[in-house]
Structure 1
Amino acid sequence: MTAVRGFLVPGEDSLEWWWRLRAQHRGTGLWPVLMTPETPDELTPFRIRTPEEEAALRYDGAALLAGWFEGRLARYGGDYADTLRAELRGEGEWRPRPELPGFGVSEYAEEVFVALVPVAAPWQVPLALHCGGWNEYPTPAEHAAILKHFHARYGAELVAMTDTTAEFTVKWPPRDRAGALRLAAEYRVYNDGEYDYYGADTLTDLAVSLSHATVWRAWWD
């Protein structure tokens, strides 16, 4: 029996449930998270205010992502790293944006588990569910710090999460080219899927999409 509180709904109704429960969060203290039905059994909840949370509070999510990106550039080296640096300077071709993805869990799952996570803010969800730290998935503390940064800068709020994915609604996607390129660099190292959900071939293509996207999707192997 799972220790994650929640209930099952038809996939087509899950986003409506999410928005309804999200509007009640201030009063209930429960943040809704959409999951595949099997996800709760793969998670191990623990109480907030643990060493993991203390680590998350010390992390700077933006600095963490910037460091990961520089580490990638150093690892790639050569022409590819030079190309990415040139794109960050705005030298890439700003082409028409690729198709933007919607929410995946609600679109593809017949049933969705609506988890009710007792947290004060959505960035705390990875800590409360102890979700992450395998393969390329960020550790709970890293993930929480990154989500706190995404929320502060872009108004990103966690909507759905499994042991391989995360999905967000975004209030303030960047509109200027420099801001979109900065976000593209962060997104590229945040998730293992890189450009997959955005039909992008380059960092600049990804920036074009993210400059308009009010939904983000990420995945890890």
Structure 2
Amino acid sequence: MTADLSRLLAALPPDMLPPGRPVSPEGGGPPGYWLSDESVTDLGLWARLRARHRESGLWPLLLTGLASDETRPWVAGEVWPAGMSAPDRHDPAQVLAAWWRDSTTTGEDDDPDAPGQATAPFGRTWPGLAAPGEPDEPADDCADGYAEFLVAGSTRLGLVPAARSADTLAVTGWSGPANHVGDAGQLSAVLRSWEERFGVRVVGVGFDTLQLSVAAPPTSIEHARRVAAEHFAFCPDNVWQGAGSLQAYAEQVVGAPSWWFWWD
């Protein structure tokens, strides 16, 4: 799943990166990503590295840690790449449908009526994948702009040997949504589909948060409801502990150039 990280890093111009180091998983195994020693302040560095991805094989990420312990997960290597499957083993439609069934079987706080209420108008019936969006701008340009927005005082730079942004979660062995799904390969499979349908790029990853740029978001409430259904399957907490209903959440994603996910 991964290329030799040291070889790929060595091919970059020597003055391109700030001080940093490859990070090995705490459970053992070769390093799955490179991490800057300090937070990044150069607003354009992410975009420059993203522009070299096709030749470098390294996808940049903006990485943040747990508020109570910023070493987790990225500095500490609290990741498990060996336990993640390859994204191409999974059909994203089937993965989302299974998550939808699991999340609508019982509601938040085990209220049997909560799923149907929260996911109206679909109730417990999986509506299937949403249609693709129409891009407002090239997906990589959208990602560059979002990365500049996300750079903050506690944001480190990561580089992941991945062929596409969606695969970075599986390659690093990220376990942020462990209470919802334990296999980042399934997450990456869905993200591949979102890359293709909505011009999504993975830009920021935290302890249990995920930040995506979106070049082709839904522009109508009808389309947004279908997208919201996928988001609910992917991350139910965005609805249960956020908007409160699929309809309210859909209103938030109409025309939104970025998507943010958080797992409890």
TM-score, with length taken from structure 1 = 0.76
Corresponding residue to 2:184 among 105, 120, 140: 140
Corresponding residue to 1:68 among 90, 99, 106: 99
CA spacing shift, 1:196–1:40, aligned 2, 3 Å:
farther
Is 2:250 aligned against 1:216?
no
Cross-structure match for 1:52: 85
* Gaps in structure 2 of 5+ consecutive residues: 1-20, 25-32, 65-69, 124-145
The structure with higher relative contact order (CA 8 Å, sep 6+) is: 1
Cross-structure match for 2:131: none
Give percent identity, aligned residues only.
Answer: 25
Cross-structure match for 1:183: 227
Q: Please tell me whether the aligned partners of residues 59 and 162 of structure 2 are also in contact (alpha carbons under 8 angstroms).
A: yes
Q: Secondary structure at 1:52's aligned position in 2? A: coil
* Gaps in structure 1 of 5+ consecutive residues: 90-101
Cross-structure match for 2:134: none
Offset, 1:7:
2.0
Q: Secondary structure at 2:218's aligned position in 1? A: coil
Offset, 1:9:
5.6
Displaced runs of 4+ in structure 1, greater than 6 A? Answer: none
Corresponding residue to 1:129 among 164, 172, 175: 172
RMSD, matched Cα:
3.1
Corresponding residue to 2:121 among 73, 78, 87: 87
Q: Secondary structure at 2:106's aligned position in 1? A: helix
CA spacing shift, 1:181–1:127, aligned 2, 3 Å:
same
Offset, 1:85:
5.4
How many aligned positions are there?
201
Q: Which has the higher helix share?
A: 1
Is 2:228 aligned against 1:193?
no
Q: Please tell me whether the aligned partners of residues 32 and 117 of structure 1 are also in contact (alpha carbons under 8 angstroms).
A: yes
Q: Secondary structure at 2:88's aligned position in 1? A: helix
Q: Please tell me whether the aligned partners of residues 137 and 220 of structure 1 are also in contact (alpha carbons under 8 angstroms).
A: no
TM-score, with length taken from structure 2 = 0.65
Offset, 1:17:
2.3
Offset, 1:138:
4.4
